[in-house]
Amino acid sequence: MFSILELMAQAFLFIVGVVILVLLVLALYDRLQTQDAIRRNYPLFGRFRGMFTKLGEFFRQYFFAMDREELPFNRAQRDWVNHAADGGSNTRAFGSTRNLSVPGTPIFVNAAFPPLDAQSATTEPMMIGPTARQPYAAPSFFNISGMSYGAISKPAVRALARGAKTAGIWMNTGEGALSPYHLEGGCDIVFQIGTAKYGVRKPEGGLDDDKLREVAAHDTVRMFELKLAQGAKPGKGGILPAEKITPEIAQIRGIVPGQDSLSPNRHPEVGDVGDLLDMIAHIREVTGKPVGIKTVVGGAEPFEDLFRAICERGEESAPDFITLDGGEGGTGASPMPLMDLVGMSIREGLLMVSDLRDRHGLKDRIRLVASGKLVNPGDVAWALAAGADFVTSARGFMFSLGCIQALKCNKNTCPTGITTHDPRFQKGLVVEVKEDRVASYAKGIIKEVETIAHSVGVTEPRQLRRRHVRLVMADGTSCPMHKVFPRGHDVPTSS
């Protein structure tokens, strides 16, 4: 009979032997494989490099990066959203951690004699699409940007729709069509028509007027947005990997399940400004509702051509709104060269288009919607001062849902259940909890922007002007934004 100690010793030796055998097999495999030079030259030990490379992102996020160092969003930005979404206080102690010497940093100019607290700034509804049969009086300047059902999960769509209803803001469907989960929340909906025309397409891909009418028949569908480009991939259509296309998503979009869904890089029937205005007019006539476009600023010429054509045809031909996405805009799946290198930043593009619109006398006709990494109150207030009428955010609301910036949006393995259709991960996203966080985040942004507006001396956030902002210059001093960018609605359009 073996004693207990002898059995334990034999078990230990057996385990050690198995471990050594496994390591030898791995080392042999590393020596024979031809894909990785480091592992081939340094069998077994070369594996640590790959492991540490993958773990580096985790360690930087939680241990090494300072609060305002990370990209695409730093910890300070994410923490603000989380505090607001929790409905808690966003007050801080002992001073700002923001580096106010970075060129381009906006600093708001506090009024010497601001309105009394009883005259605090409050948001007024703004009319969009006065020539449409059913104009839209949009109640909020801050809204949810386009995120398709497919790119994000069913519980994420449900939580966003319910939260939007509670907060009194609109929700953009993204190009993935209108799902029952958008409608169940009862919020105002902006239906986005992408280049593949999901949900309103004919079998061959053209626009189906009957399906357009079906979508427009929903009272909560307030506007239509014709997507020309998005910030992360200008000139390239949407990408939905096959692993994220469930039978339900395929049915809603009108596509084949089990295959990557690749949208055309542009609308085939829109080849110039005239075609674009014709298509806008057609959709507005069929639906009876305001119609706008979403695009990315690459230069002034296309917008000059657009506004000139509108003035020639008449103001009634204009898009009711233009959504400007910055080149820093995000998405779950985009080629890195397009994400990094193509498209103007919203910080420059918004100012340019606002000036062009105003100079052509179209300020009251065309509303500007700004999008692109505008997730905190200062970002939103800056955009309103720069000329935007509305601001939309996608990633800010993803953070309110619990996004941890794991950067796995395109892999169907999102650990928070937001951008995955794996039921195991979706269980973590409890709709009844997250809808409250969505609403609290939106209300928190609106409240804080109204606080900034009150501080600079105006009684409505859209009264913010460039003269209310100073921009930090390269030498560390600051200059009024209306002097750095003097054209726009701070000066007469004839100047």
Question: Which residues, including other chains, have CB under 8 Å from residue 182's CB and lie 6 or more apart?
Answer: 149, 157, 161, 171, 173, 189
Cβ-contact 350, 102 below 8 angstroms: no
Cβ-contact 400, 437 below 8 angstroms: yes
Fold that domain 119-484 belongs to in CATH: TIM Barrel (3.20.20)
Cβ-contact 237, 195 below 8 angstroms: yes
Residue 479's pLDDT is what? 94
Cβ-contact 434, 417 below 8 angstroms: no
Angle at 484 between CA 479 and CA 485, to 5 degrees: 140
* Phi/psi of residue 337, nearest 5 degrees: -60, -40
Domain spans of the chain? 4-64, 119-484
**Tokens found for residue 395:** 């990633």
Residue 99's pLDDT is what? 73
Say whether 221 sits in a helix, a strand or coil: strand
DSSP state of 207: B
Relative to beta strand 321-325, strand 367-371 is parallel
Cβ-contact 371, 397 below 8 angstroms: no
Residue 408's pLDDT is what? 73
Question: Mind giving me the DSSP string for 128-173?
Answer: E-TTSSS-EEE--SEEEPP--BTTB-HHHHHHHHHHHHHHT-EEE-
Residue 490's pLDDT is what? 43
Angle at 440 between CA 439 and CA 441, to 5 degrees: 90
**Tokens found for residue 276:** 């674009």
Question: Which residues, including other chains, have CB under 8 Å from residue 460's CB and lie 6 or more apart?
Answer: 121, 122, 123, 124, 453
203-210: Cβ within 8 A, 24+ apart: 203/254, 205/264, 205/268, 206/269, 207/269, 207/279, 207/282, 207/283, 209/286
Q: How many of the other CB atoms lie within 10 Å of CB of 341?
A: 9
Residue 65's pLDDT is what? 55
- Which pTM does this prediction carry? 0.84
Put residue 40 in one of left, alpha, beta given phi > 0 → left and psi -120 to 50 → alpha.
alpha
Distance CA 24, CA 486 (A): 70
In the block, residue with structure tokens 């609403």:
439
Angle at 395 between CA 391 and CA 396, to 5 degrees: 65
Cβ-contact 326, 393 below 8 angstroms: no
* Phi/psi of residue 416, nearest 5 degrees: -100, 0
Q: What is the pLDDT along the chain (495 residues), one digit of tens a residue?
A: 557 877 788 888 889 889 999 989 988 988 888 877 778 888 888 887 777 666 666 566 655 555 555 556 666 777 778 778 878 776 666 666 677 778 888 999 999 988 888 777 889 999 999 999 999 999 999 999 999 998 899 999 999 999 999 999 999 999 999 999 999 999 999 999 999 999 999 888 889 999 999 999 999 999 999 999 876 666 667 777 777 788 888 889 888 787 777 788 889 999 999 999 999 999 999 999 999 999 999 999 999 999 999 999 999 999 999 999 986 766 655 566 666 567 788 999 999 999 999 999 999 999 999 998 898 999 999 999 999 999 999 989 988 998 878 777 767 778 888 888 888 888 888 899 999 999 999 999 999 999 999 999 999 999 999 999 999 999 989 999 999 988 644 443 333
Longest dimension (CA), the chain: 104
Cβ-contact 333, 237 below 8 angstroms: no
